[in-house]
Amino acid sequence: MSTHLGAEFDETIAHGPDPYEFYARARVEQPVFYSHRFDLWFITRHDHVVRVLLDPTGFSSEDRSIKPKRWPPRVAAVMASKRHAKHLGNTDPPAHTRLRQVLNQAFLPTVVAGYAPLIREVADDLLDRLAGPEVDLLNEYCYPLPLIVILRVIGVPLDDLDRCMRWCRDKSTLDFAAETLNEDEQLRAAESSVAFVDYCDNLVRQRQHAPLDDLISRLLKTRVKGHPPLSGPEVADLLPLLIFAGHETTANLLGNLLWQLLSTGHWDRLVTDPDLLEAAVEEGLRYDTPALGFVRRALQDTTIAHVRIPAGSRVFLLFGSANRDPARWSEPERFGFPRDRASGHLALGQGIHFCVGAPLARLETRIGLDRLLRRQPTLRLTDPVTEPERRVHLVLRTLRRLPAHWDQKLSRLNGGGAA
C-alpha cells in the first residue's frame, strides 16, 4: 500500500488554513490515500466522491464520526451513558428512508419560502445591534443569524441560544476533532453532549403534552404512508443534528463567502449587480466548502482509482478537494462567478444524503448577504490581506473571527434602526 501522502496528512494540513494545495497534489499523485493517523481512506476526485455518495448499498453512513479508538476511562464512562441517536446523517435505508420522508415534508420549497420574512427580520435585528466602528461579522452576524432562525423554526426557546451553540460546538469537536482535546476537555465535551440529548428529550416531552406551531410538534404528528409515526425519542434524536447542521454549515458558508467577496473586490460587483447573489452563493459553496467532507464505511472490498479498499474500512469523502477538481471545472482554484456547472458542487452532498435543509441554507445566505449589501454597501475588512485564523477541525472549514469596518450612520440610512 502506497501511503506517502497519508503520512504527510497531519494536523498542519488537515486543520491548516489552506489545505487546497495538498488536495491538488493528491488528485494527481495519489487520489485515494490512507492515513494511519486518522485510520481513514481519503477520496479526493469529484467522480470518485460522487460514485461513493450514489452507492448507499456499498458504503454505509452508520459510522460517520472520527473518534479515538479508546476513550480515557472517565470519558468512556460518560459516553457509555449516552443514547446513540439515530438521525438522517448516520442511518442507511430503510431507516433513513422513513426519517427522510418525514423531514422532507418539513423542508418543502413552499414551506422554506415562507421563512423569508423571518430570516429578514432576524437579519435586520442583528444588523441593528452592530454598533461599530469595527464589528466581528462572523460571531456577531454569520453565526447567530442561522442559529436564531433554526431555533425559532424548531421551537427552541431563544433563551437557550447560548447553551445550544455551546452544545453544538462540543458535540462537533467530540465527534470530528477529539484528538485536538486533552482528557479534561474531552470529559467536558462528553458531558455536554449528554446534556444536549437530555435537553432535547425534555423539549419533545413538553410538545407531546402541549403542541405548538413549530417543527417539533409537526414532526410528532406527521404521517407518511407505509410507515409508523415517529416516536418521541425518535423526534428527540433528530433535534441535535437539526440544530447543529441547521446553523453550522450556513454560518461557515456566510463567513467564508464574505471573506472571499470582501478580500477580492467581488463585494463591489454585488453592490452594483445584486442579481448575481445566487451565483455568488453557489460559488462560495464550491470554492470554500463549509463542510470539507464526511465519512462512509465500505461494506465490501472495493477498488477506487486502482486502490483496493478492504471491507470494513472507513473512507473520508473530501468534498473540499472534489469541488476544486479540474476534471470538473476550468480554473477551479479561481474564485469567480457566474460559473459554468456551478450547481455540480458537492458542498451539500448528493444522493440519498443530500442535505435536507439545503433550500433553507441557500435562502438564509442570500437574504443575509442581501441585507448586508443594502445596509453596508461600503463594507470593508479590517485586514483584507491576511486571512483570518480558522478553527481546528477536520470536517468544518470555518473562521474564528471576521473583523470589518462598520458605518453606523450608513446602516441607519439604509434601513436600520437605532443603535
pLDDT in tens, 294-304: 999 999 999 99
Q: Among all chains, which residue has been given the C-alpha cell 465490501?
A: 300
Taking residues 31-55, what's their average pLDDT? 94
Taking residues 91-99, what's their average pLDDT? 91
CA atoms within 13 A on the CB side of 18: 6
pTM for this structure?
0.93
pLDDT greater than 90 at residue 373: yes
Burial 160-175 (b: 16+ CB within 10 A, else e): eeeebbebbbbbbbbb
Helix (H, G, I), strand (E, B) or coil at 27: helix
Pairing mode, if any, of strands 59-60 and 293-298?
A: antiparallel
Domains of the chain, CATH where assigned: 4-413 (1.10.630.10)
Query: What is the per-residue pLDDT for 327?
Result: 95
pLDDT band with cut points at 50, 70 and 90 for residue 77 = very high
Please write the tens of the pLDDT for every residue from 342-354. Answer: 778 999 999 999 9
pLDDT band with cut points at 50, 70 and 90 for residue 3 = low
Taking residues 265-276, what's their average pLDDT? 95
pLDDT band with cut points at 50, 70 and 90 for residue 2 = very low
Backbone torsions φ then ψ of 281, nearest 5 degrees? -65, -45
- Paired with 298 in beta bridges are 59
SS3 for 80-137, per residue? HCCCCCCCHHHCCCCHHHHHHHHHHHHCCHHHHHCCHHHHHHHHHHHHHHCCCCEEEH
Query: What is the per-residue pLDDT for 418?
Result: 39
Q: Terminal CA-to-CA distance of the chain, rounded, Å?
A: 61
Helix (H, G, I), strand (E, B) or coil at 227: coil
pLDDT band with cut points at 50, 70 and 90 for residue 38 = confident
Taking residues 304-319, what's their average pLDDT? 95
